[in-house]
Amino acid sequence: REILECFGLDRVEYVGSLAKAGQRHGYVKVEDHVYTVQVGNYMGTDFGVITEITPEKIVLDETIQNAEGEWIHRPAEVPLSVK
């Protein structure tokens, strides 16, 4: 498990990004710590894998269990915080 899988997305704040050599890294804040993330990292408590990082948001593909007990995928986003 990765450290950001311990926190619900409601506790994660997307604070910025940086593009270098064609790859964008995101910076997310949880409590008083800032973490660097990239596509392929896991984040959130619903098995969310980061699929895209843009200047405006981080896009994830979460895997959850539906009411019938089947595992399904759903999209999720963490928008850029504008404080």
pLDDT in tens, 5-28: 999 999 999 999 999 998 999 999
- 48-64 as b/e: b if 16+ CB within 10 A: bbbeebeeeebbbebee
Residue 56, both tokens: 């405006």
pLDDT at 83 > cutoff 80: no
d(CA 7, CA 66): 21
pLDDT in tens, 65-80: 999 999 999 999 999 9
Q: Pseudo-torsion of CA 44, 48, 52, 54, nearest 10°?
A: -20
Whole-model pTM?
A: 0.94
How many other CB atoms are there within 10 angstroms of residue 68's CB atom?
6
What is the mean pLDDT of the segment spanning 17-41?
Answer: 96
What is the mean pLDDT of the segment spanning 35-41?
Answer: 98
